[in-house]
Copies of this chain bind each other. A is one copy, B any other.
Amino acid sequence: MTDHEPVPAVRETAGAIATMEIRGAATIADAAARALAAQAREGDHDDPGAFRASMRSAARTLHETRPTAVSLPNALRYVLQRMEGETVDALRRNVVSATDAFVDQLDRAQEDLGQVGANRLADGDTVMTHCHSTDALACIEAAVEQGKSISAVVKETRPRNQGHITAEQLREAGVSVTLIVDSAARRYLDDVDHVVVGADSIAADGGVINKIGTSGLAVNARERGVPIMTAAQTIKLHPETLTGHTVEIEMRAEEEVIDPGTRAAIGEIDVENPAFDVTPPRYMDAIVTEHGQFPPESIVTLMRELFGEGADEPWAEP
C-alpha cells in the first residue's frame, strides 16, 4: 500500500540493521525507536487510521530485518503500545514522546542499573563473575565509584575465555582479580559474597538465559548460601516468552571447544557447544534493571508494563 510506504529514515535504519551495520542490542533498539519517531514526524497522514497503519507498517518493516533479536521488537512494542489519541496530532505527539522516553531511558539504562546493582554490594565484598557482561560490570564499577572496595573471582568461561576481558576491565576499574577455571567455582564460593552475572535474555517465567555455565553456577551458589544477581537492561526481557515460547539456544562452532587437529587425533567423536543455558528463577535472587531490582518471579509484571501482554504483534496488519 503506497500510503504505508515508510519514510526514508525507516528504510535506511531497516537496511542498516539487516546488513548488521547497526548491531548490538542497545544500538538496534535505539535506532528502531528513532526510526518510528521519524515515521511519526515525517509521514504524511490524513487521518488517525492512516497514521496508525503507517506506523504499524514501519514497525513491520523494521521487525522483518532481524525477527529473532530481542531488543528490536521490544523497542517497537514500547512505542506502538503508547500510540494513543483521537487525532493525528495527538497520536504523533504520543509516539514522539514515547520514543523520547524510550531512547532517553535506554541511554541511561546501564548507568542506572549499575547504581541499583552497586547498592546491593557492600564495602569489602568479593564478587564472582561468569563470562563478560557490560551490565554486570556496570554494577561492580559503580560500587567502586561509590567508594567500596571490591575484589573479584573471575571464571575464565570456556570455550571463549571471555573471563579474560572481564578480568582486564575489572583490573582497570581498581578491582583486585583472581582468575580461576570454571570448575573451581564451588571451591571459591566460600570466599565470595555475591555472584553477579549478565543475561542474554530473560523469560516471562523468570528463567534467565545466559552464557552456558550460569545455571550450574547458580545451583552451587544457592547450595553454598551465596546470593546471586542478574544485571540486565529491560531490552533483554524476551516478550515472546510471555506467551510460553521458549528461547532457542544457539549451538556454536565446535572448533571453539576443540581444535580440529586434536579432535582428529582422538577419533570419531561428537562435540556440542551450546552458547547459553537457562537458570530457573528459584536459583536467582534478583534481577537488576534500570527500573530497579525484581525477584525473577515478578519480572513478568515489568515486561507487561513496558511491552504489553505479548499476545499480539502490534505491528501486525489488523
Q: Does B269 contact A118, Cβ atoms closer than 8 Å?
A: no
Q: Does A244 contact B288, Cβ atoms closer than 8 Å?
A: yes
Given contacts A267-B172, A301-B301, contact A293 B242 (CB under 8 A): yes
Please tell me the number of chain A residues within 8 Å of chain B, measured between CB atoms. 87
Give which listed residue, B171, B189, B241, B294, contacts A269 with CB less than 8 A. Answer: B171
Q: Within 8 Å CB of A294, what residues of B?
A: 204-205, 300
Q: A268 at the A/B interface (Cβ < 8 Å)? A: yes
Q: Within 8 Å CB of A304, what residues of B?
A: 292
Least CB distance from A283 to B in Å reads: 9
Q: Does A244 contact B115, Cβ atoms closer than 8 Å?
A: yes
Q: Within 8 Å CB of A285, what residues of B?
A: 205, 280
Q: Does A120 contact B186, Cβ atoms closer than 8 Å?
A: no
Query: This chain: how many copies in the complex?
Result: 6
- Counting from the closest, the 5 A-B pairs by CB-CB distance are A183-B213, A119-B244, A116-B244, A297-B297, A186-B216
Q: Is the interface of A mostly helix, strand, loop or mixed?
A: mixed
Q: A177 at the A/B interface (Cβ < 8 Å)? A: yes
Give which listed residue, B181, B205, B292, contacts A295 with CB less than 8 A. Answer: B205
Smallest CB-CB separation from A267: which chain B residue? B171
Q: Does B288 contact A180, Cβ atoms closer than 8 Å?
A: no
Q: Within 8 Å CB of A211, what residues of B?
A: 183
Docked CA distance A197–B117 (Å) = 29
Q: Does B223 contact A168, Cβ atoms closer than 8 Å?
A: no
